[in-house]
Amino acid sequence: MLLKECTSFSGRRLILENLPPIRHAQDAVFIPRGDGPFWGLFEASGRSVPEALNYTGFPKLHTPLSSLDCPALPDVPTLSDKYDYWYIGEVNLQYGHFLIENLSRLWAIPSYERTRLRIILSYHEEIENIFKYDYFKSIMEALHLTQENFIQIKAPTRFENIKVASAAFEDFSLIYRVYADFVHSIGRYVLPYKVDPQPGRVLYFSKEHLRAGKTRIGNEAELTNILKDKGVGIIFPEQMSFREQIKLWASNPIVAGFSSASLYTSLFFPRRNTVTLSYTENVNVNHVLVDDVNQNNARYLNASPGLEALGAGDGFQMNYRIQNVQKFAEEFLDMVM
């Protein structure tokens, strides 16, 4: 068989029902990445504010993604205390990373009016350019946040007071139930009306038109041609607006595709139907975490027996080729339809 059920995953599978911790940090210094060898949010002692750290759980559990300490904090200006500061740190606008590293910190922002609220971040582009990302703009509109609510830190800066909510999603490790509730509220705002459910409709998310990325199936177009002829809807998520993707997920079809961040969008509505094809026998546990916390009806198929690894090239870190496209398609249809 070219497709088998996945029986293992890479990383840790942990769902937490309590709330992530929140720190009210005082006299803290934020050093953006690239401004010296140490970067992150630091206490006056030079130790990193624990709640400000992002971690990954693979290959080693709780591996920090920024500095644990700064031996000598710089003498830097203190930002005015007239605002209520909340920290999200370095922004990663690759969609999946944004959901894990940045959006997962906004679960705790207060629901009161936004006049005094300022969200602290760093990025190599201006705030107005960040808002040009369709999904970012749509999500921030749902949270009633405008460009004025963000402050971009370009050089080391001190804060008398800054609130830091721990990330509710830790890469390859864990996810909190509150994050699903939070993202559901965004989905309801982006699409406030009901759409006709299509629980029996099968859609396949294709990456064949992507010009660069992490992983690609070189002959995926051959597969989608066969699937389309058999009644499977072929979807190219990168060609859709964020709202169009939300509307698609709201109709609750069966959504299948090779492992990619586009499948994380199921999180905006509870109890979706997903089929994740894994390039290896170990499925990426981030998919499992999203499916678990969202109570999805999920399946994971190991596609590695039917794939030939070709290595990096053409803008992708890894390229694969389906060795027998016709048989691969037939097995996929038997398992999904």
| pLDDT, tens digit (0-9, with 9 covering 90-100), for 238-262 | 999 999 999 999 999 999 999 999 9
The pLDDT confidence band at residue 29, using thresholds 50, 70 and 90, is very high
Average pLDDT over residues 111-126: 92
Helices (H), 240-336: 242-250, 285-293, 325-336
Instruction: For residues 48 and 272, give the distance between their C-alpha atoms in angstroms, rounded to a whole number.
Output: 38
Res 65 pLDDT > 90: yes
Instruction: For residues 298 and 296, give the distance between their C-alpha atoms in angstroms, rounded to a whole number.
Output: 5
Instruction: For residues 268 and 274, give the distance between their C-alpha atoms in angstroms, rounded to a whole number.
Output: 13
Res 295 pLDDT > 90: yes
Tens-place pLDDT, residues 166-177: 999 999 999 999
Res 113 pLDDT > 90: no
DSSP state of 315: T
Share of the chain above pLDDT 70, in %: 100
Phi, psi of 55 (to 5 degrees): -125, 160
Instruction: For residues 111 and 84, give the distance between their C-alpha atoms in angstroms, rounded to a whole number.
Output: 13
144 φψ region: left (φ > 0), alpha (ψ -120 to 50), beta (else)? left
- pLDDT score at 199: 83
Phi, psi of 308 (to 5 degrees): -115, 120
- Cα-based distances in Å from 233 to 57, 78, 236, 260: 35, 54, 10, 18
Average pLDDT over residues 222-233: 97
- pLDDT score at 74: 94
- Judged on CB neighbours under 10 Å (0-12, 13-18, 19+), 216 is buried
- pLDDT score at 34: 86
Q: Can you spell out the DSSP letters for 183-231? A: HHHHHHHHS-S-----TT-EEEE--TT-SSEEEEETTHHHHHHHHHHTT
Asked whether the beta carbons of 333 and 320 are under 8 A apart, the reply is no
Number of CB atoms found within 10 A of residue 1's CB: 10
Instruction: For residues 50 and 243, give the distance between their C-alpha atoms in angstroms, rounded to a whole number.
Output: 35
Share of the chain above pLDDT 90, in %: 93
Q: 3-state class of 275 per DSSP?
A: strand
The pLDDT confidence band at residue 79, using thresholds 50, 70 and 90, is very high
Full-model pTM: 0.95
The rounded mean pLDDT for the chain is 96
Average pLDDT over residues 120-140: 97
Res 226 pLDDT > 90: yes
Asked whether the beta carbons of 117 and 111 are under 8 A apart, the reply is no
Tens-place pLDDT, residues 266-294: 999 999 999 999 999 999 999 999 999 99
Res 112 pLDDT > 80: no
**Rg (alpha carbons) of the chain, rounded to whole number:** 21
Instruction: For residues 272 and 248, give the distance between their C-alpha atoms in angstroms, rounded to a whole number.
Output: 11
- pLDDT score at 329: 98
The pLDDT confidence band at residue 129, using thresholds 50, 70 and 90, is very high
Res 216 pLDDT > 90: yes
The pLDDT confidence band at residue 149, using thresholds 50, 70 and 90, is very high
Instruction: For residues 78 and 173, give the distance between their C-alpha atoms in angstroms, rounded to a whole number.
Output: 35
Tokens of residue 312, six digits:
């990096």
Instruction: For residues 167 and 99, give the distance between their C-alpha atoms in angstroms, rounded to a whole number.
Output: 10
DSSP state of 143: T
Instruction: For residues 150 and 83, give the distance between their C-alpha atoms in angstroms, rounded to a whole number.
Output: 11
